[in-house]
Amino acid sequence: MKETYTPLKFKENALRFIQDEKRRANLNKAIYHTLSKRTEVVSELPDWEILRQRAHDIRKEAIENIWHYIEIFEKKASENGIKVIYASDAIEARNQVLEIAKRINAKLCVKSKSMVSEEIGLREFLEENGIETVETDLGEFIVQLAGEMPSHITAPAMHKSRDEIGKLFNEKLGVEFTSVPEELTKIARGFLRDKFLNADIGISGANFLVAETGSIVIVENEGNAGLSTTLPKIHIAIAGIEKIIPRLSDLTVFFKVLGRSATAQRFTSYVSIINSPRRKKPDSPEEIYLILLDNGRSQMLKSEKLKEALYCIKCGACMLACPVYQTVGGHSYGWVYPGPIGSILASAQLGLEKATPLPFASSLCGKCHEICPVKIEIHHTLVWLRHQAVELKKTSRMEKLLFKLWLSAMKDARIYKAGAKLLRFLKKIGIKPSLKAWSRTREFPQIAEKSFREIWEKELKN
Amino acid sequence: MGERTEKLIERFKLEFERVGGVFIRVKKDQILPILNQTLKVENADKIFVEKFDDELSNILKQLNVKQIITQAHSEKQLAKVDASVTGCDYLIAETGTIVFIHDEKRFKSSILLPRVHIVIARSEQVYESLEHVFEKIDKKFDSIFLVTGPSRTADIEKVIVKGVHGPQMVYLILI
């Protein structure tokens, strides 16, 4: 994890991004494109709302009975020859990967896309320990070359233009400059093909873990996850404990909503449902490890309010739909999961102390909930988190005082009238109340010459 | 052929073509010329051919290319071929998806490594949806691989580019 990367710098980061018109234009173009495509593929399904409800119900069933299903999963997967390891936090998970790597004297790892590995800073950790670790998803590869963090969970390089990527490849890979996406992709294919064929370990995430069959399920478009989990001798999959689903048939519901929500596709190009290591298969890893990561999740399970955020299937739709994300971009949030759902996850995993600005980085419009394929009530949870932040005394004294005044005025008509009169008087003699923090980016409401009550009494009543 | 199967094949064709696949329907005796033509168009000299039943294997032996590999010894060898010709287990009409059960007869890397992937299927393999396939299969499978069109990305300015790590072209030849 990069040192400077913290939610506490949200305001500074957001301001910087807002002023960078080129970046904003890149981001907005990409967002608009995906959202309009998504509308098209969602509206084809007349029973979309039923599907969403079904997806919600399955996720609820899984999370409410999570330990039960994990037990079944562990039993099945172990029977099939997959080694299941439990990691309580990032340090444990990283060390377990390193231990396996050291045991086989691994020099090169290929990685397919995994947000959980970003969460625990796995790639940096392995590199620090002298193991070359290469991102193979094109977007992640670009972000790795640039030394940045992903700005969106399914489209990590969406903030970059083709020219920037061309320059980056030219500098880092020593190839001739081109800004043609087809050419750039070909360059990456050639470079990474070599890595795939020589890697000792393939590292992946998991989109779902199926309890019934003990399967690790990985959804993707490029084929890099398929290769990362087939070519190297060892496959290590890392998944948050919440990835569990009860039955194989549940997948049919999630495939329908996930592809549409994440990348506006009817069905993603590739799905690997992995039940076992090599056995009779002619190609496949000899060993498969699955690291089940807790990292704050079991704490979330204990909170009625936060539990629901674990239903998330990491599609990233709430980010695209969020007017705040659209304006400030993914990097501003300072946490691996940006946007509305990320604000909940950061508050839960880092603690509100370290994520205070995030629950406030929302207009509470509810678009995130409307678009969420598993119907998480993100906006309600954000309001609740704001309340927690106030309880933690994370708001200024001035803000509290103003809200107290406002509350007493709203409760008592006499105070309200007197207050309004005072404001009108102040306006007459030329004093405007100064509330810079509020009015810097908003129009301050004008105070009318006469109140409605006065107009009613004198002019309208009769 | 039943009307129902015909309808499913129609739907499969529509969906498969929509994701960028090339659908060709042939009679058994046309397989050889069609395949030869396809391989020529794709400039494929070196190909991998999976094990089929004897009749089909004999036909495929006569393909007009420089080198045919039928026994792959390593993934590195598969990485060097231009095209692979494989069978499949099911086709899903609703999404244009090809289902591969990954077991002793199949190299998953033969589906992913070559530039061109040609799949030979029979019309009775078409099912309506993934739900139906899940009902049908033995849950004790080793692994399953679902393929819906060629490898693709939209990571650079949302421009769709085919053939990132997997094949650029996927052909489905239905007998």
Chain A residues close to B147, C-beta within 8 Å? 269-270
B32 touches chain A (CB under 8 A): no
Chain A residues close to B15, C-beta within 8 Å? 266
Residues with Cβ within 8 Å of A252's Cβ and at least 6 positions away in sequence, in order, are: B129, B130, B131, B134
> Least CA distance to A152: which residue of chain B?
B155
ipTM reported for the complex, 2 dp: 0.96
> Least CA distance to A76: which residue of chain B?
B140
Contact A274 B95 (CB under 8 A): no
CB pairs under 8 A between A and B: 169
> Least CA distance to B143: which residue of chain A?
A274
> Least CA distance to A263: which residue of chain B?
B154
CA distance A172 to B15: 40
Phi first, then psi, for residue A237 (nearest 5°) are: -105, 140
Chain B residues close to A283, C-beta within 8 Å? 75, 107-109
> pLDDT of A17-61, one tens digit each?
999 998 899 899 989 999 999 999 999 999 999 999 999 999 999
Provide the 8-state DSSP code for A448.
Answer: P
Taking Cα atoms as reference points, which of A23, A5, A39 lies closest to residue A327?
A23
Residues 57-76 of B with CB under 8 A from A: 72, 75-76
Taking Cα atoms as reference points, which of A268, A208, A266 lies closest to residue B147?
A268
- CATH 3.30.230.10, applies to B3-174: no
> pLDDT of A153-175, one tens digit each?
888 998 899 999 999 999 999 99
B168 touches chain A (CB under 8 A): no
CA distance B58 to B45: 19
Q: Which two tokens stand for residue A195?
A: 């890595």
B21 touches chain A (CB under 8 A): no
CA distance A239 to B49: 36
pTM of the model: 0.92
A248 touches chain B (CB under 8 A): yes
Residues with Cβ within 8 Å of B45's Cβ and at least 6 positions away in sequence, in order, are: B65, B66, B67, B82
Asked if residue B166 has pLDDT above 50, the reply is yes
Cα distances from A122 to residues A149, A207, A293, in angstroms, run 13, 18, 12
Amino acid at A453: R
Taking Cα atoms as reference points, which of B12, B66, B57 lies closest to residue B31?
B57
B80 touches chain A (CB under 8 A): no
pLDDT-derived band at A211, boundaries 50, 70, 90: very high
Cα of A269 to nearest chain B Cα, Å: 4
pLDDT-derived band at A146, boundaries 50, 70, 90: very high
Average pLDDT of chain A, as a whole number = 92
Phi first, then psi, for residue B12 (nearest 5°) are: -60, -45
Contact A231 B75 (CB under 8 A): yes
Q: Residue by residue, what is the 3-state secondary structure of chain B?
A: CCHHHHHHHHHHHHHHHHCCCEEEECCHHHHHHHHHHHHHHCCCCEEEECCCCHHHHHHHHCCCCCEEECCCCCHHHHHCCCEEEECCCEEECCCCEEEEEECCCCCCHHHHCCCEEEEEECHHHEECCHHHHHHHCCCCCCEEEEECCCCEECCCCCCCEECCCCCCEEEEEEC
Q: Do B85 and B5 form a contact (C-beta atoms < 8 A)?
A: no
B86 touches chain A (CB under 8 A): no
